[in-house]
Copies of this chain bind each other. A is one copy, B any other.
Amino acid sequence: MNDSKIVVDCVLLADDPTTFVTREVFSVQVEIGGIPNDRHYGILRPADSRQNIYPRGTMIANRRQISIVSREECARIAGLMGLPVIKPEWLGANLMVSGLESLTELAAGTRLLFPDGTGLICEGENLPCVGPGKVIESMHDQPGLHRKFVAAAKKSRGIVCSVEREGRINKGDTVRVI
């Protein structure tokens, strides 16, 4: 990694209860349970197939509060799918950053610090599932396109984070990765 700045290019919110797709906003307040009014907000959340050590639906600590993708990795996914662009909205991302070559490879436990002192903890890779592929297909006139997503997004789909210190994240913020 060179010393180019890591910057928040987009801030997004999943506040439409009918979809995981996010919409761009200028900034979000983050609390210890995530982003208020966002689909993934909560101190607790129901276990799903990824937490199969618990019965499905068991309320567990929410470590998947905030989803981050990178501009560079979205471009890589787009290239592999033969598309001009993959928008962070389609992946349900809350932040898109640029300036980091391999966001998805950040180790769990890595801290992301924002200018006002807001801190996120990387909880690891966001494993690709089929949902975003279907959204992407619905935006293009290519039947079957959704099947390409999971393979194309492997190791490029970004990370999930939980909040360590509350604060505000704004479009244009620089990010320190520690």
Classify chain A's interface size.
Answer: 20 to 34
What is the copy number of this chain in the assembly? 2
Which residues of chain B come closer than 8 Å to A59, judged between CB atoms?
Answer: 165-166
Write the chain B residue with the least CB distance to A163: B61
- Closest Cβ–Cβ distance, residue A53 to chain B (whole Å): 6
The distance from the CB of A111 to the nearest CB of chain B, in whole angstroms, is: 6
Majority DSSP secondary structure for residues of A touching B = strand
> Smallest distance from the beta carbon of A159 to chain B beta carbons, Å?
14
Contact, CB under 8 Å: A44 / B32: yes
B contact residues around A124 at 8 Å (CB): 109
Q: Which of A13-21, A80-88, A113-121, A125-133 participates in binding chain B? A: A113-121
CA distance A41 to B178 in the complex (A): 26
In the complex, what residues of B have CB within 8 A of residue A151's CB? none
List 10 A–B pairs whose Cβ atoms lie within 8 Å, in order of A's numbering: A32-B43, A43-B43, A53-B111, A53-B113, A54-B117, A59-B165, A60-B119, A60-B164, A61-B121, A108-B109
A-B contact sample (11 more), CB < 8 A, given A53-B111, A59-B166: A32-B43, A32-B61, A54-B117, A54-B119, A58-B165, A60-B119, A60-B165, A61-B121, A61-B162, A61-B163, A61-B164
